[in-house]
Amino acid sequence: MPQNSGATGVTAEEIRTRVRELAAAHDPATTDHVEFLGHRFDAGLAWVHFPVGCGGLGAPRALQQVAEQELAAAGAKPANVYRNPIGLGMGAPTVAVHGTEEQRSRLLRPLWTGEEVWCQLFSEPGAGSDLAGLATRAVRDGDDWIVNGQKVWTSFAHKARWAMLLARTDPDLPKHQGLTYFFLDMSLPGVEVRPLRQATGQAEFNEVFLTDVRIPDSMRADEVGKGWTVSNTTLMNERVAIGGGASPREGGVISPVAALWRSRPEVRTPALHDQVMKAWVEAEVARLANARIGQQLAAGKPGPEGSAAKISFARINQETTRLWLELSGEDGLTYDDWTMRRVDLGGSDGGRSAGYYYLRAKGNSIEGGTTEILRGVIADRVLELPREPRTDTKLPWKEIPR
């Protein structure tokens, strides 16, 4: 994370003072929420560990909690993560680390306030789990790059103004080396978004077609050919965002399961008792592990622990929603929410039926990196096990069979 040398040594008391000054100048009770978030960004209180001028103070990341507590005490509402989850969880840290001064100045403030929504253009029909094998091409043309290709499983593309785009700029290099990362304006000519309907009836995802899209070189992140390095910043933050969020005890899908168990004594059998207890314990272990990951994040950037959290989240969600369905009895077999809906921004899926969550949880082991791929990450980077033999990492990408 780039730091501003003049902002080092920021203390907790300085953070509290800044919050008090912000609240005095812009009363959270009477100031429009988006406007207040903008003032908060300008005061360096969006992400205190970001550089000065980028919504931060160059302070230790651990001081973010101080800012949040003081802002809550002043009556300020937090940023709505449901409004721009990909931007806040993945876009902001990527822009902050790999963006130019001009890019950070242009992109971060409206990202933070939710005025400009972000999406992620990584996966492709022929390169899902093998992200480095992607085929979307970006060809240099003067001060622009002309991009052609197709992306898939893109959440919020139908709402997004900006996208994190990974494209191939040199097919003569091995697949990991010939990639470049761009910040794509989704309103540019040649960008087409189509909905993808899921088993739930929702159209939460999209496929995106890029036809002769001209991206200015000024919107390239980092150096040409450094796309894989930049994408890893995005992916590490994505896995933490999906699986590493903090929650209260009995938060998430274990909450309705526990409530059903307590309210329906007629379904209590010894076998189900063991399953409910196992699910509750695993949810609590995951919650405490995520709290530890939060502590590690306060000391630096996310590491492979986020992959473990994401695997755990997917497995627990799938097992617990199955249990929820079983405890619901006949009610769990009914599902009439098949009308295709586009996902809106600003809210969560709270209040849906057990059937919805059961179906939706099937995607948890695919999105944000498949469980199989993440197990490989853990084996390699955490356990330091021997890598599986591969023959495609040193060949030029254009020579790899597809």
Which residues are the active-site residues?
A: 238
Q: Which 8-state DSSP code applies to residue 347?
A: -
CB 204 within 8 A of CB 193: no
Length of the chain: 402
Distances (CA, A) of 94 to 87, 90, 107, 231: 9, 6, 11, 8
Largest CA distance in the chain: 72
Identify the bridge partners of residue 247 per DSSP, sorted by sequence position: none
Compute the distance between CA of residue 175 and CA of residue 395 in angstroms, rounded to an integer.
Answer: 8
138 Ramachandran zone, left/alpha/beta (phi>0; psi -120 to 50): beta
Parallel, antiparallel or unpaired: strands 205-216 and 191-196? antiparallel
Burial of 390 (0-12, 13-18, 19+ CB in 10 A): exposed
Compute the distance between CA of residue 62 and CA of residue 233 in angstroms, rounded to an integer.
Answer: 20
